[in-house]
Structure 1
Amino acid sequence: MERSIGSRQLAAMLPDPAGARPAYRHLAQAISALILDGRIALHVRLPAERELAVAVGASRTTITAVYDLLRDGGYAQSRQGAGTWTALPEGRTHRGIARLLGSVDTAIDLARAAPGLPEEALADALAQVGPQLAEQVQTPGYHPYGLPELRAVVAERFTRRGLATLPEQVLVTSGAQHALSLVLGVLGRPGDRVMVENPSYANALDAMRRARLRTVSVPVTDHGWDVEIVESTLRQVVPQLGYLIPDFHNPTGCLMPDEERARILRAAQRSGTWLVVDETLAELALDVPAPLPFASHGPSAQVITIGSMSKTHWGGLRIGWLRAPAKLVTELAGQRVATDMGGSVIDQLLALALLERADDLLPARLEQARVQRAALADALASHIPQWTWHTPPGGLSLWVDLGEPVGSAFAETALEHGVRIEGGAYFSTDPGLFEQRLRIPYTVSPDTLREAVQRMAAALAHGVSPGSVDRRPHWVA
């Protein structure tokens, strides 16, 4: 299946060119911004000029000028008779990479909902790892399934949480995103449908786009999931996969009730859909007991559970895992060998040491999150009282309603005032949605959160409107 984007699909992602002059420059700016954001992947074939002209309601001359400008700026490449593909200009950084690198200036970084690891915990783990590492270096060090001791600990934690699990049902991965990518590669084929929540975790959505899967969205509101819509989607669309974040959903913070989990499991069993359940945030329960594993609520023969240490400990470890039927774990390990042979033994030994002490470390992490959440909420109420939100019972961020569709514009203005943050549209499966939202993590210190809110209040006072975003590439005057 060719990597391409249809004319109607691209047109739906673009602003109306009618009110902008010159229209070709306006459209070229929008397409280049989509490429930088990752909303359109690299090396994707763009629609033919005539088809896109009809879809956006512009002349073919206008679209020819758009493509010429994209090529001149390095955002597209063409070959005679073969079409035009997306590209990235030399010196420009993909927004996903820039987001992970974080701030290289004085901006407060609220784009990433990921905490750091206490130095004392790291020092203790390193002291424990030394002798174990000395033993490991006498071996080849390849563990495509993961270090056996770590697989056993992860399995035991699932069992203690209420889902009986054997080590052979566990595959250790380089983070939850790696686990998801492996699953998409084995169970998905280009063009397959995957049911996703809307909004959802942006990096997961990007992985699905790159796997050339067709997303079918089901809404998640401040009040949670409409299970009847989920059931009807599974029944009528019969997707190959479904990706869910039922525990302190990212970004809304919602927690799915037990009875809804059971209904979705039954519906997925009837449709034959594989459910990929992301439980990365499951242990970050701040106001309620930690939820039982999703797969413990019903038939789980086609449920894959993904977990990670990124949110509970530190993303820099790059340790995650998945729980699945043993036969599928073997297939996924085979897929994994083709790319990285196995994870770092040192990181896995550190993860093992930290997980063995998790019951001692986690309570302090949860209390810290409660304090930070309260500091963020108090600062917002004091400095920007017109914004609203529902306090999540767990997780690491607030899903804030701005009252008007200015999320992306505000994120740009906030950066000018020293705060790096994501507008709600970044978490959307469909163009134009959630522009009235911001995701604000509470993963930095209370003092830093208070300073960030003061800077955001100054940005708001500066003035923000839906049309105030200037995300032009450097080649546009």
Structure 2
Amino acid sequence: MPAALTALALSRLLGPWNTRTGPAYRELADVIRLLILDGRIPLDTALPSERALCAALDISRTTVTAAYSSLREQGFLSSGQGSRGRTRIPELTPFGSALFGPQPPSTGALPAPGLTAPGLTAPGLTAPAGLVDLAYSALPASGEVVHRAFAAALTELPALLPGFGYDALGLLPLRQAVADRYTAAGVPTQPGQVMVTSGAQHALTIIIRTLADRQDRVLVEHPSYPHALDAIRSAKCRPVPVAFAGSGWDLPAMETAMVQQKPKLAYLVPDFHNPTGLIMPNAQRRQLVRAAAAAGTVLVADETLRDLNLDGTATTPLAGFGSTVVSIGSLSKSHWGGLRTGWIRASESMIQRFAAARTTLDLGGPVMEQLAAAHLVRALEEPLPALLQTLRRNRSALLDLLAEHLPTWQAAPPAGGLSVWCRLPAPISTALTVLAPDYGIRLAAGPRFGIGGAFERNLRLPFTLTPDKLEVAVLALRAAQDRLDAAPQLRRSLTQAPAVAIA
């Protein structure tokens, strides 16, 4: 069943929209258009009828009719039967007429900001050397700790060599270590409730393949982690985006989406959400788990950033509020992406289903890496204090630099994680991404974190680099924005965005 927005819900999203600086219909259309572009109103959502909206806003029906007509002319509303058009993005965005005025005819379709595997570039593009890379939100290895773990694993390896080396569930020492960490966090867990995977992305792929069929719906936050959206689309499932409300999760909207859309799964990042850095309070976690259980939706909680708690916010893992939650973890953010070791935590019966489905992908993970990972999970507290101190310093440096050199950008300090989700003064995210290599930096455009072209007014900036490199990056961003401000026609001439890798 397609999504529909009630008049009351749209009224709440609009807020104090009528500033009386122009015709009321134009102001109403402008605010709705921005809500669509920002992802606050998901694509393919039916707006309320003209009669219902004029009653909710206490305005004339003529005003609503004119606003809807304007949105249809701009390409943001379909010309469906009756007055309940469905939200959409014009084909020429982000550089088409709806945003920047008329554009000369293009010789080809405008590609969305793309993605390649790390280390690769798009056909016809070369990756300039020496770029300050802000497309990745990842850290270098905690070198001595990782090296020591592998040295210990090397001494333990001979005892396992007489075996076959295949284990779909993963080595028991690592599963025990992961289970102990969940138990210590208030979620009693046995090793049989844990399966080791080759990273969090591998874990999510297994979960989707096991629990969802083609064309099934998967609820996602909007914005969301790009590779998770890719995994959902790759499985031929249909993402159902639910936007954030102000500075947090919109629980009423999520509950409504579960009731209306009946999603099989809901993929969430409740701990220092990627890209916004938000953390879900325990009260909302409890409410969400209850709503999902009532709707028959399995909650998939990505906890790869949970340990990067910069402000010491205390929460319980989502699985602590219900047995139907499936949790994903990884060492990629806390230790090093090159480890490629993750896990799934779920009920024992669910873990057995995942293990059976896994055999279509692989027959188990590398033994050496799992031995090392067991040491790292058991001794996570050793490198964590220094890592958090470094990240706090970098976060402060980035926020200070943005305030000084890009004062029109809005950037709320995240409570944890690795990045800041910036609000730009204009829909120029893709334009900045296209220009960025000319100024020595590499970016991930805001629309990569959304569906259908949303988030042109946003940009994710990681604070994983040292303060001196962050200063170089922010000064480069200022220069790129100045170039766009000085030449508005440049926005219309940028017709192809570079493919970027995102982590």
Shorter-chain TM-score category?
0.7 to 0.9
TM-aligned CA deviation for residue 287 of structure 1:
0.8
For residue 326 of structure 1, the aligned residue among 332, 337, 348 is: 348
TM-aligned CA deviation for residue 227 of structure 1:
0.8
C-alpha separation between the residues in 1 aligned to 2:346 and 2:286?
18
CA gap of 1:456–1:472, structure 2 versus 1, over 3 A, is closer
TM-aligned CA deviation for residue 472 of structure 1:
7.1
Q: Determine the structure 2 residue equivalent to 1:50.
A: none
Q: Determine the structure 2 residue equivalent to 1:202.
A: 226
TM-aligned CA deviation for residue 337 of structure 1:
1.8
> 1:197-255 CA deviation, whole Å, 9 max, x = no partner?
10000000011111111111111245111111111111222211111111111111111
Please state if 1:233 is matched with 2:233.
no
Matches within 5 A, 1:35-184: 37=114, 97-98=120-121, 105-184=129-208
Q: Determine the structure 2 residue equivalent to 1:433.
A: 454
Q: Determine the structure 2 residue equivalent to 1:53.
A: none
TM-aligned CA deviation for residue 104 of structure 1:
5.4
* 8 Å Cα contact 2:132/2:442 also seen in 1: yes
C-alpha separation between the residues in 1 aligned to 2:298 and 2:202?
18
Q: Determine the structure 2 residue equivalent to 1:448.
A: 469
Q: Which structure would you say has the larger RCO, counting Cα contacts within 8 Å and 6 or more residues apart?
A: 2
C-alpha separation between the residues in 1 aligned to 2:172 and 2:90?
46
Please state if 1:459 is matched with 2:480.
yes
Amino acid across the alignment from 1:278: D
Q: Determine the structure 2 residue equivalent to 1:307.
A: 329
Name stretches of at least 5 consecutive residues in structure 1 with no aligned partner.
1-5, 39-92
Amino-acid identity (%)? 40
Matches within 5 A, 1:262-411: 262-297=286-321, 299-300=322-323, 302-411=324-433
C-alpha separation between the residues in 1 aligned to 2:263 and 2:384?
36
> 1:356-377 CA deviation, whole Å, 9 max, x = no partner?
2111111111111101111111
Amino acid across the alignment from 2:302: D
C-alpha separation between the residues in 2 aligned to 1:205 and 1:13?
21
For residue 285 of structure 2, the aligned residue among 252, 257, 261 is: 261
C-alpha separation between the residues in 2 aligned to 1:96 and 1:165?
38
Amino acid across the alignment from 1:15: L
Secondary structure class of the residue paired with 1:225: coil
TM-aligned CA deviation for residue 98 of structure 1:
4.0
TM-aligned CA deviation for residue 335 of structure 1:
1.5
CA gap of 1:98–1:276, structure 2 versus 1, over 3 A, is farther
> 1:362-420 CA deviation, whole Å, 9 max, x = no partner?
11111111011111111212222221111011110000111110011011112211111
For residue 443 of structure 2, the aligned residue among 417, 421, 426 is: 421
Q: Determine the structure 2 residue equivalent to 1:90.
A: none
> 1:287-338 CA deviation, whole Å, 9 max, x = no partner?
13342101212x32x2101111111111110001011111111111112122
Secondary structure class of the residue paired with 1:246: coil
Secondary structure class of the residue paired with 1:394: coil
Please state if 1:470 is matched with 2:495.
yes
Of 227-236 and 195-204, deviating more is 227-236
Amino acid across the alignment from 2:341: I
Amino acid across the alignment from 1:270: A
C-alpha separation between the residues in 2 aligned to 1:282 and 1:236?
30
C-alpha separation between the residues in 1 aligned to 2:188 and 2:109?
52
* 8 Å Cα contact 2:218/2:265 also seen in 1: yes
C-alpha separation between the residues in 2 aligned to 1:95 and 1:220?
29
CA gap of 1:166–1:238, structure 2 versus 1, over 3 A, is same
Amino acid across the alignment from 2:456: E
> 1:425-468 CA deviation, whole Å, 9 max, x = no partner?
11012x23110111000111121111111222222222255435
Q: What number of residue pairs does the alignment pair up?
A: 403
Please state if 1:14 is matched with 2:91.
yes
Secondary structure class of the residue paired with 2:267: strand
> 1:101-129 CA deviation, whole Å, 9 max, x = no partner?
x9651110110111111222122222212
CA gap of 1:444–1:250, structure 2 versus 1, over 3 A, is same
* 8 Å Cα contact 1:282/1:291 also seen in 2: no
CA gap of 1:424–1:221, structure 2 versus 1, over 3 A, is farther
C-alpha separation between the residues in 2 aligned to 1:428 and 1:342?
32
Amino acid across the alignment from 2:335: H
CA gap of 1:278–1:269, structure 2 versus 1, over 3 A, is same
TM-score normalised according to structure 1 size: 0.80
C-alpha separation between the residues in 2 aligned to 1:338 and 1:150?
23
Root mean square deviation, CA, Å: 2.5
Amino acid across the alignment from 1:231: E
* 8 Å Cα contact 1:37/1:96 also seen in 2: no
C-alpha separation between the residues in 2 aligned to 1:453 and 1:338?
45
Amino acid across the alignment from 2:390: Q
TM-aligned CA deviation for residue 21 of structure 1:
3.8
For residue 215 of structure 1, the aligned residue among 220, 232, 239 is: 239
C-alpha separation between the residues in 1 aligned to 2:245 and 2:393?
25
Amino acid across the alignment from 1:37: G
* 8 Å Cα contact 1:409/1:468 also seen in 2: no
* 8 Å Cα contact 2:313/2:415 also seen in 1: no
CA gap of 1:134–1:164, structure 2 versus 1, over 3 A, is same
TM-aligned CA deviation for residue 13 of structure 1:
6.5
* 8 Å Cα contact 1:183/1:332 also seen in 2: yes
TM-aligned CA deviation for residue 469 of structure 1:
2.4
Name stretches of at least 5 consecutive residues in structure 2 with no aligned partner.
1-43, 45-77, 79-85
